[in-house]
Amino acid sequence: MTGRRIVVVGAGPRALGLVERLGANAGVVGTPGERVEVHVVDPHPPGTGRIWRAAQSPLLWMNSEAQDVTVFTDESVTCEGPVVPGPSLSEWAAGPEASAAAAGLSARSFAPRVVQADYLDWAWGRVVGSLPEAVSVHVHASRAVGLVDRGGSQRVGLADGRHLEADLVVLAQGYLDQAPAPGEQRLLDVAAAQGLTYVPPGHTADLDLDGLQPGEPVVVRGMGLAFVDLVVLLGEGRGGTFTGDGTQLTYHPSGREPVLHVGSRRGVPYHAKLGYEVREGVAGPAPLRHLTRERLATLGGGTSVLDYRSQVWPLVVLELAAAHYRRLFEAHPERTRGTLEALERALARADVTNGELTAVAVAHLSDPEDVFDIHRIDRPLDAVLHDGTSPDEVERLVAEHVGHDLTRRADPSRSSDRAVFDTLLAVYAVLTELVVTGRLLDEDRVRHVEGHFHGLFSFLASGPPPRRLAELLALHRAGIVRFLGPHLELVIEDGAFVGRSGDREVRARAAVDARLPRPDSALVTDPLVAGLLASGELRSRPVTASDGTALGAGQLVDDARARAVRADGSVHPHRYLVGPAVSGSVGAGGFSRPRFNGPGFRQNDAVARDLLTVALAGRTTPAHLISSSSHRPPRRAPVHVRDHDDAHRPQHDPRDTPREKDHRHAS
Ligand SMILES: Cc1cc2nc3c(=O)[nH]c(=O)nc-3n(C[C@H](O)[C@H](O)[C@H](O)COP(=O)(O)OP(=O)(O)OC[C@H]3O[C@@H](n4cnc5c(N)ncnc54)[C@H](O)[C@@H]3O)c2cc1C
């Protein structure tokens, strides 16, 4: 019997997690003693991949606290495979194996991304160094450019001309590169013809910002995390400095910054990360009471397609509102009236599509700040702004909103925000399940789950460190950042960019779309995925909404076992898709918190066990690993060695590992 050969395309955190789970489960499931060869392909270093590579500005931070980031399972993870504990980012930083750059990192710090790079690099070394004898990992510092079925096995073509033969392939490619969407392409073309500078959506760390001149106005569309990175690179990155503490910062310009006129759909930045802890009994996403499997099963007979807006969204809103008020009644009863039970009964009867949900709650509250109004939360400026609002008034209202957010997010007496945060994670998991089980049509998937809900989730739960918003306010006071308002339109008129919000507008020679490209598989330029889409081996169906709006094709689609769904709806039994480019891939949003039963761990574990057990009927390829179309001599891939960086090879004795020390159990 020859071994099992698995190719993982992508060597970011997801691949790290999969390799860790393959090691943990090998010998526990699958054929006893079977050799498993894992080939990991990525031009970027393994463990860190592209996003967390060490070669990037040290000014860029994570948006998670160091204590909330781990790549190791713990007792909270309800997976079938063995738990193999390891340190969180903050525990590693406090330990003997931390890098010099990690010195001084506290549990509550938001680590620079380059420190997370050190943690991931260390974790990769530990995971690979701890693998059982039967499992070997081979890293190929190249790009995968093709994948075909060939005689019962699969052939992965690499950019350097080599091929890898595999039984099973996992595509863990993270955010896929895309061509500009039609509107962005138009801006690119017209800007180029008229000598304007336009920076389209992309990874901020990879963008060329040199075309943005000191002192010139720049229209910026987008106020999420890419905007925060942009501000850092154009402010401190160009020599500006901050003095002061907490929320009272002063920015001292270098004179090399442009002036950023920023707006977005909401017109305000993402909410700051919560600055307090509510940890009692938290072992994972909050249990749901309304958007439950049982409830969804009764809708439409349990298997039929659901209508998102009329059947799913009302339950999402009810679930979030109920979580908010439950925490309020439990933790801050002095601001409540009547009983929680009476309020919950009233909420359950209310119509969430109008103001009824809010109206029934008011009678139970003594502080209007405690009302959970999803419309006001989602579009905070809509009620206070109108077309005639003056630009100065808009600036004042946005700055006031940000200041208020900084205060509220640091205030434990508003811990109902935390309950909503935890519930959002659980809701996302249910929506994911509806996607992979085919209970939502493509239009609802793309427009509502990948679109609106994902945006709301990011706005409420994926915000920046509070310090970044305090910096934003200081930059605003220094005149480097100006707030344009909501519903921002970006067009080119009469030889200039125009940023327009209501009847307020600004003209500029340069503009930036500060965001990652909106996932649209129809626009993917990655040659591997583009080739699979073209041959129908992956599904991509451009969606047009009933009102005629082109929604794009959204993310790639897989089934409940994370296997690739083809254009004809069939499933490829030996190809898996995971990560942020895949609709419904759980845990794709980021790192798990320790003791949180992170869904990403559970999916990694399930996929790893599948990879170790799935039948390989029909395999005909010989046992050699690497063939060559360019007539190179086959390379003998060394065990536990990274092709591109042997110098950092871990020196662990594979037997002296947490696994061998029995830090694990079969749950
Ligand atoms: C700018 C940014 C900041 C973020 N900050 C945080 C944060 O602070 N906290 C948090 O929890 N999450 C954060 N995230 C979320 C992030 O998605 C996850 O942290 C994590 O990186 C996802 O891991 P991944 O392996 O799925 O994808 P990635 O990290 O994107 O890794 C995928 C890898 O696949 C490789 N690849 C792609 N195509 C090919 C190919 N054809 N051949 C070979 N290799 C290929 C890429 O080079 C890349 O290295 C952030 C995301 C971004 C974009």
665 pLDDT more than 90: no
316 assigned to some structural domain: yes
> Where is the domain boundary, 427, 461, 495?
461
Q: Is the CB of 111 under 6 A from ligand 1?
A: no
The pLDDT tens digits for 70-97 are 999 999 999 999 999 999 999 999 999 9
Work out the percent of the chain whose per-residue pLDDT is above 70: 91
DSSP 10-22: --SHHHHHHHHHH
Please report the pLDDT score of residue 651 as a whole number. 30
Distance (Å, whole) CA 454 – CA 145: 30
- Span 596-619, mean pLDDT? 90
342 assigned to some structural domain: yes
281 assigned to some structural domain: no
- Which ligand 1 atom is the nearest neighbour of the CA of 14? 25
586 pLDDT more than 90: no
Amino acid residing at 128: V
Kindly state whether residues 449 and 390 are assigned to the same domain. Answer: yes
Kindly state whether residues 309 and 247 are assigned to the same domain. Answer: no
At 647, give phi and psi (nearest 5°): -60, -30
Q: Is the CB of 140 under 6 A from ligand 1?
A: no
282 assigned to some structural domain: no
Among 1, 5, 34, CA closest to 625: 5
- Which ligand 1 atom is the nearest neighbour of the CA of 516? 53
- Span 434-460, mean pLDDT? 93
666 pLDDT more than 50: no
Kindly state whether residues 478 and 500 are assigned to the same domain. Answer: yes
> Where is the domain boundary, 421, 442, 461?
461
89 assigned to some structural domain: yes
- Span 488-495, mean pLDDT? 98
Q: Is the CB of 124 under 6 A from ligand 1?
A: no
656 pLDDT more than 50: no
Distance (Å, whole) CA 268 – CA 661: 51
Contact 628, 179 (CB under 8 A): no
Structure token digits, residue 351: 């119509």
Distance (Å, whole) CA 347 – CA 320: 11
661 assigned to some structural domain: no
For ligand 1, the distance from its centroid to the CA atom of residue 429, given in whole angstroms, is 20
Distance (Å, whole) CA 274 – CA 113: 20
Please report the pLDDT score of residue 285 as a whole number. 64
Please report the pLDDT score of residue 628 as a whole number. 35
- Which ligand 1 atom is the nearest neighbour of the CA of 41? 43
- Split into its structural domains, the chain has a count of 3
Distance (Å, whole) CA 498 – CA 508: 7
> What is the DSSP secondary structure assignment for residue 176, as one 8-state letter?
P
Q: Is the CB of 19 under 6 A from ligand 1?
A: no
Kindly state whether residues 324 and 453 are assigned to the same domain. Answer: yes
The pLDDT tens digits for 298-331 are 887 666 899 999 999 999 999 999 999 999 999 9
The pLDDT tens digits for 379-401 are 999 989 987 899 999 999 999 99
Please report the pLDDT score of residue 650 as a whole number. 31
Kindly state whether residues 331 and 457 are assigned to the same domain. Answer: yes
601 pLDDT more than 90: yes
> What is the DSSP secondary structure assignment for residue 126, as one 8-state letter?
H
Kindly state whether residues 369 and 447 are assigned to the same domain. Answer: yes
Kindly state whether residues 98 and 172 are assigned to the same domain. Answer: yes
- Mean pLDDT across the chain: 89
Kindly state whether residues 302 and 344 are assigned to the same domain. Answer: yes
Confidence of residue 284 (pLDDT cuts 50, 70, 90): low
- Give SS3 for 401: helix
Kindly state whether residues 409 and 478 are assigned to the same domain. Answer: no
663 assigned to some structural domain: no
The pLDDT tens digits for 27-46 are 899 988 899 999 999 999 99
Most confident of 222-231, 416-425, 622-631: 222-231
- Give SS3 for 322: helix
Kindly state whether residues 430 and 545 are assigned to the same domain. Answer: no
660 assigned to some structural domain: no
In which domain, by residue range, is 157 found? 4-178+519-648
How would you classify the pairing of strands 168-171 and 4-9?
parallel
The pLDDT tens digits for 105-114 are 999 999 999 9
How many CA atoms lie within 13 Å of 575's alpha carbon, on the beta-carbon side? 23
CATH number at residue 16: 3.50.50.60
The pLDDT tens digits for 544-559 are 888 888 899 999 999 9
Q: Is the CB of 468 under 6 A from ligand 1?
A: no
Kindly state whether residues 451 and 315 are assigned to the same domain. Answer: yes
Higher pLDDT, 301 or 8: 8
Which residue puts its alpha carbon closest to atom 12 of ligand 1?
590
Number of other CB atoms surrounding residue 78 within 10 Å: 14
The pLDDT tens digits for 237-270 are 999 999 999 889 999 999 999 999 999 999 999 9
Q: Name the residue of 160, 163, 173 to mutate for ligand 1: max ligand atoms within 8 A of Cβ.
A: 173
Please report the pLDDT score of residue 279 as a whole number. 57
Please report the pLDDT score of residue 173 as a whole number. 97
Q: Is the CB of 143 under 6 A from ligand 1?
A: yes
Kindly state whether residues 368 and 486 are assigned to the same domain. Answer: no
